[in-house]
């Protein structure tokens, strides 16, 4: 099968931007992605487009894909929208890779867009949690904070060394990183005292254990090995792709202290890439709530079950640690515009692997992972990216 490469990727600022529309956001992300292609890029080359979008607010619930690709002049290009909750554009990237690998397309745009900040708080309440299991789980009065809080309660109950302070440590780390990211929604540092003392949202989760709701867009450009040379001579290869589904409702799953879809997706991606978690230089994981980052460490094999707290205590996932996680600031600090989050992680991986991550650049990187989860674990997608020049093949 043909290899697929990321030849360029970019994102908008993530944040609250009332002056932007979903179209204008997508346009900015597209321009940033085009500008990031080392040897130049023309939209005429795009064979196919896949756009992740949940449709928060309902603004363009049908056909949001063509609405944004036509807006940026990709006239006539077949485009479809992917909806997999918060994993929408992670799956969009996966579909782009599939299209390239299958031979049906040489250049595919994979992106995502969401606008979440321009609604009244009443309407926002409705849209938060629409991807939870609706008939039973949501009708107990939970949005996602509630469901992740239940997972956190089970985790803290199961591992006696784990405490809510470990959740706060993940938040402090991600804010420290996000403060170095000009695109971050909440790009400021926070102290451990602030992170521990924030108001409770859903016990044991406090405000600093929850990501914001953001506006934003992101775009990655994926090319086949047959054409990649036209765009760059230092390409980033999509070494591994894995994805998995699970029951949408937490109560339907076997284990509340793990996200099985993440484990399955990670194993598939590692196997395709022929590497293990020890061979990663950095990772962008889906930390919609702090507990999700801890579970990701364990689901993706960064440590054993119940060992995520000690990984945080020892600073292993800090920017200067053995395996920096969420150098971008993660969903917590960089922000979480649902449909744009997965492709936004890919944009960060591209920047890290091409040495363009500025103050938050992880040193000596050749391989990184992105991990994007939908809902409380009903969908997960993992990618492993490599700087091909640095990897002996």
Partner 1 sequence: MSAEKTRVASLGAYAPRLYVTSETVEEALGQFAASGVERKAVPEADEDTLTMAVEAARRALGAGEFEGSDVSYLAFATTTPPMEEADLTARLASALGAPADVDTRTLTGSTRAGAQALDAAVDARPWEGVGVVVASDAPRGAPDSAVEQAAGAGAAAVVLGDGPGRVEGRGSYVESYPGTRFRPAGEAETDGLDVTNYDRQAFSTALTGAVEDLETDVDAAAVQSPDGKLPYRATGALGVDAGTIAAGSTVEDLGDTGAASTLLGAASARNDGAERVLLAAFGGGAGATALRLDLAGVPAEIALKGDSELSYADYLRRRGEITSGEPEGGGAYVSVPSWQRTTPQRHRLVAGRCPECDALNFPPEGACSDCTARVDYERAELPGTGTVEATTTISQGGAPPEFVEQQARSGPFVAAVVALDGPDGGVASIPTQVLTGGRDVEIGDPVETTIRRIYEQEDVVRYGFKAQLCDAKR
Contact 351, 329 (CB under 8 A): no
Q: Token pair of 3, please?
A: 């290899």
Q: Is residue 153 a contact residue for partner 1 (CB under 8 A)?
A: yes
Tell me the per-residue interface mask from 208 to 247 with partner 1, x by CB under 8 A, - otherwise: ---------------------------------------x
Residue with tokens 């784990």: 162
User: Is residue 66 helix, strand or coil?
Assistant: helix
Question: Does 250 engage in binding with partner 1 (CB under 8 A)?
Answer: yes
Among 52, 249, 335, 344, binds partner 1 (CB under 8 A): 249
Per annotation, catalytic residue among 175, 185, 209, 336 = 336
Q: Which stretch binds partner 1 (CB under 8 A): 116-124, 174-182, 301-309, 353-361?
A: 116-124
Collect all residues with Cβ–Cβ distance below 8 Å to 170 and sequence separation of at least 6: 209, 287, 290, 293, 294, 312, 332
Active-site annotation holds for 383? no
Please report which helix (H) or strand (E) contains residue 296, including its range: helix 290-299
Q: Which is nearer to partner 1, 197 or 355 (CB)?
A: 197
| Sign of CA pseudo-dihedral 169, 170, 171, 176 | positive
129 binds partner 1 (CB under 8 A): yes
In the bound state with partner 1, the residue whose beta carbon lies nearer, of 35 and 203, is: 203
Q: What sign has the CA pseudo-torsion 332, 333, 339, 342?
A: negative
Q: Write down the least CB distance from residue 136 to partner 1, Å.
A: 5
Minimum Å gap between C-beta 186 and partner 1 is: 19
Contact 357, 180 (CB under 8 A): no
DSSP notation for 178-198: HTT-TT-TT-S---HHHHHHS
> Is 336 designated active site?
yes
Q: Between residues 142 and 214, which has the closer beta carbon with respect to partner 1?
A: 142
- Residue pair 375/364 in contact by the 8 Å Cβ criterion: no
Identify which of residues 158 and 389 has a Cβ nearer to partner 1 in the complex.
Answer: 158
| Minimal distance, residue 255 CB to partner 1, in Å | 11
User: Which residue's CB is nearer to partner 1, number 129 or number 187?
Assistant: 129
Q: Reduced to 3 states, what is the DSSP secondary structure of residue 30?
A: helix
> How far is 67 from 45, CA to CA, in rounded Å?
19
- Can residue 146 be called a binding residue for partner 1 (CB under 8 A)? yes
User: Under the criterion CB under 8 A, does residue 54 sit at the interface with partner 1?
Assistant: no
In the complex, the smallest distance separating the C-beta of residue 140 from partner 1, rounded to whole angstroms, is 5
Select which of 79, 86, 190, 210 is catalytic.
Answer: 86
Beta carbon of residue 148, minimum distance to partner 1 (angstroms, whole number): 9
The nearest distance, CB 135 to partner 1, in angstroms, is 6
Residues 6+ apart with CB under 8 A from 233: 38, 39
Kindly provide the residue ranges of all beta strands, DSSP E only, lying in 12-118, ordered along the sequence: 48-52, 79-82, 107-114
Q: Residues with catalytic annotation? A: 86, 336
Q: Where does this chain bind partner 1 (CB under 8 A)? A: 119-120, 122-123, 125-126, 128-130, 133-143, 145-146, 149-154, 157, 199-205, 247, 249-254, 256
């Amino acid at each position: 099968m043909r290899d697929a490469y990321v030849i360029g990727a970019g994102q908008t600022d993530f944040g609250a931007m009332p002056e932007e529309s979903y179209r204008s956001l997508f346009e900015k992300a597209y321009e940033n992605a085009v500008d990031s292609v080392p040897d130049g890029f023309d939209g005429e080359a795009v064979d196919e487009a896949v756009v992740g979008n949940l449709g928060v607010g309902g603004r363009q619930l049908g056909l949001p894909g063509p609405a944004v690709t036509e807006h940026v002049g990709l006239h006539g290009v077949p485009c479809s929208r992917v909806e997999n909750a918060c994993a929408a554009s992670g799956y969009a990237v996966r579909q782009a890779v599939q299209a390239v690998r299958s031979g049906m397309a040489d250049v595919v745009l994979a992106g995502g867009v969401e606008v979440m900040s321009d609604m009244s708080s009443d309407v926002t309440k409705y849209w938060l949690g629409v991807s939870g299991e609706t008939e039973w789980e949501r009708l107990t009065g939970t949005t996602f904070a509630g469901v992740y809080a239940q997972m956190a309660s089970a985790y803290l109950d199961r591992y006696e060394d784990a405490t809510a302070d470990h959740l706060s440590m993940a938040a402090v780390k991600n804010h420290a990183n996000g403060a170095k990211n000009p695109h971050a929604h909440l790009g400021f540092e926070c102290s451990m005292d602030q992170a521990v003392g924030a108001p409770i949202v859903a016990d044991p989760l406090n405000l600093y254990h929850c990501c914001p709701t953001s506006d934003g867009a992101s775009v990655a450009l994926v090319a086949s090995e047959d054409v990649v040379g036209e765009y760059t001579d230092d390409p980033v290869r999509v070494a591994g792709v894995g994805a998995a589904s699970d029951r949408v409702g937490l109560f339907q799953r076997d284990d509340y202290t793990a996200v099985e879809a993440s484990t399955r997706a990670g194993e598939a991606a590692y196997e395709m890439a022929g590497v293990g978690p020890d061979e990663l230089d950095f990772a962008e994981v889906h930390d919609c709530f702090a507990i999700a980052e801890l579970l990701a460490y364990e689901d993706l094999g960064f440590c054993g079950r119940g060992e995520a707290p000690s990984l945080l205590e020892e600073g292993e996932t800090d920017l200067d640690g053995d395996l920096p996680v969420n150098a971008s600031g993660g969903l917590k600090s960089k922000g979480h515009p649902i449909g744009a989050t997965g492709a936004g992680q890919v944009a960060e991986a591209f920047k890290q692997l091409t040495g363009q991550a500025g103050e938050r650049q992880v040193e000596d990187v050749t391989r990184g992972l992105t991990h994007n989860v939908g809902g409380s674990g009903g969908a997960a997608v993992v990618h492993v990216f490599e700087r091909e020049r640095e990897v002996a093949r």
